[in-house]
Amino acid sequence: MLRFLVRRIFQGAIVMLLVTIAVFYLFFHGSPEAVARRLAGRQATQELVDRIYHNLGLDQPFWVQYWHFLERLVRGDLGTDYYNGVPVTTVLKESVPVTASLALGAAVIWLILGVSSGVYSSVRARSLTDRAFTGIALFFYSIPVFVLGLALIYVFFYELTTHGVHWFPATGYVGITESPYRWFQHLVLPWLSLALISAAVYTRLSRTSMLEVLGEDYVRTARAKGLSERRVVLRHGLRSALTPIVTQFGIDVAVALGGAILTENIFGLPGLGWESLHAINNQDLPLIVGIVIVAAAAVVVANILVDMLYAVLDPRVRLH
């Protein structure tokens, strides 16, 4: 197990190194003079543009720039936000908790709703309940996240506020350390907006995977031995059916941690998605690179954790 984990971590480190090379080349080597000119302003002289270009180190060879960037990255320094004049790490420290609160809270909801409804549908296949869960899943899966988010704001904020109920805020964020109750209040609607659509995927995936597993010979053998249906489904069926669910869950959580752009902008959450949109509009390259690296790290870590869960669910995975 230890060798398996070390090998996966080493592979993840190689992936992160390649990501930093690609990201640095694309963003800093593509049009560095345009960045200097944008920072200098519309009325700036060429002399001022050249000075900014030199001060940012953009006139150095690519590999020299990348080596300095890598040295700073190892020390935890991602550079300085061009427009706000603060370290990129400061911006990330403020936005990562927001995105993590949104992504992890929504992940718990969509996992519970999706897996439980999928398992329930599989043990009652082709029943009225199965068709109802399938219909609900298809309904939410077909709704764009921004449409669902705006609908939730209209129903739970506008309509309830009109009738004197002020429980659901439409926008904003309050840290959990400041007020756990208000933190929960501000995240309920974003959680539902993100979770209901993802839960639809897990309902279908869990149902399909469980139906396949419940038809296996070892499940029929377990039933023939007189084991209760609950034990057969949960202990023998669900554990084997979790492999594709874990795969999908790792990908979805990693993507959400990288920044749920639409959800954060609809509900005014100052997370990675919010910051990335503003950084792209302002061509704030250090901040864009920092967000991309954090998002890539989230994907790599999620994949390592998924591989570890594979090894727990199926010991044969450790041999590959």
Give residue 39's domain range: 2-74
Let me know whether 70 and 102 are in one domain: no
Are 215 and 147 found together in one domain?
A: yes
pLDDT band (50, 70, 90) for residue 253: confident
136 shares its domain with 50: no
Question: What integer pLDDT is reported at residue 43 of this predicted model?
Answer: 61
Q: Which of 38-52, 103-117, 302-316 has the lowest mean pLDDT?
A: 38-52
Claim to verify: residue 256 and residue 212 sit in the same structural domain: yes
Q: CATH number of the domain that 183 lies in?
A: 1.10.3720.10
Q: Is residue 320 a part of any domain in this protein?
A: no
Which of the listed ranges 49-53, 128-132, 256-260 does the model predict with the highest average pLDDT?
Answer: 128-132
Whether residues 55 and 131 share a domain: the answer is no
More confident residue, 173 or 218: 173
| Cα distance between residue 226 and residue 220, in whole Å | 10
| 294 plus 224 within the same structural domain | yes
Let me know whether 43 and 127 are in one domain: no
pLDDT winner (highest mean) among 2-6, 40-44, 286-290: 286-290
Q: Give me the mean pLDDT over the 108-114 stretch.
A: 92
CA–CA distance, 30 with 34 (Å, rounded to integer):
9
The widest CA-to-CA distance across the chain, in whole angstroms, is 85
CA–CA separation, 154 vs 149, rounded Å?
Answer: 9
Residue 32, pLDDT above cutoff 60:
no
How many structural domains comprise the chain?
A: 2
pLDDT tens for each residue of 215-235? 777 777 877 877 777 787 777
**Rounded to two decimals, what is the model's pTM?**
0.81
Is residue 27 pLDDT above 80, yes or no? Answer: no
For residue 83, being part of any structural domain is answered with: no
Query: Is 289 found in the same domain as 238?
Result: yes
- What pLDDT score was predicted for residue 243? 80
pLDDT greater than 70 at residue 273: yes
Distance between CA atoms of residues 311 and 92, nearest Å:
33
Buried b (16+ CB within 10 A) or exposed e, 122-133: bbeeeeeebeeb
Q: What is the pLDDT of residues 75-106, one digit of tens each?
A: 888 877 777 778 888 889 989 999 999 999 99
Per-residue confidence (pLDDT) for residue 190, from 0 to 100: 93
Select from 20, 39, 74 the last residue of a domain: 74
CA 166 – CA 187 distance, rounded (Å)? 15
**Is the model more confident about 46 or about 255?**
255
Asked whether residue 11 falls in the same domain as residue 150, the answer is no
Residues 173 and 304 in one domain: yes
Least confident range from 205-209, 230-234, 247-251, 295-299: namely: 230-234
Q: What percent of the chain has pLDDT over 90?
A: 15
In a domain, 157, yes or no: yes
Same domain, 260 and 163: yes
In this predicted model, which residue has the larger pLDDT, 259 or 124?
124
Residue 84 domain-assigned (yes or no)? no
Residues 49 and 165 in one domain: no
pLDDT at 285: 77
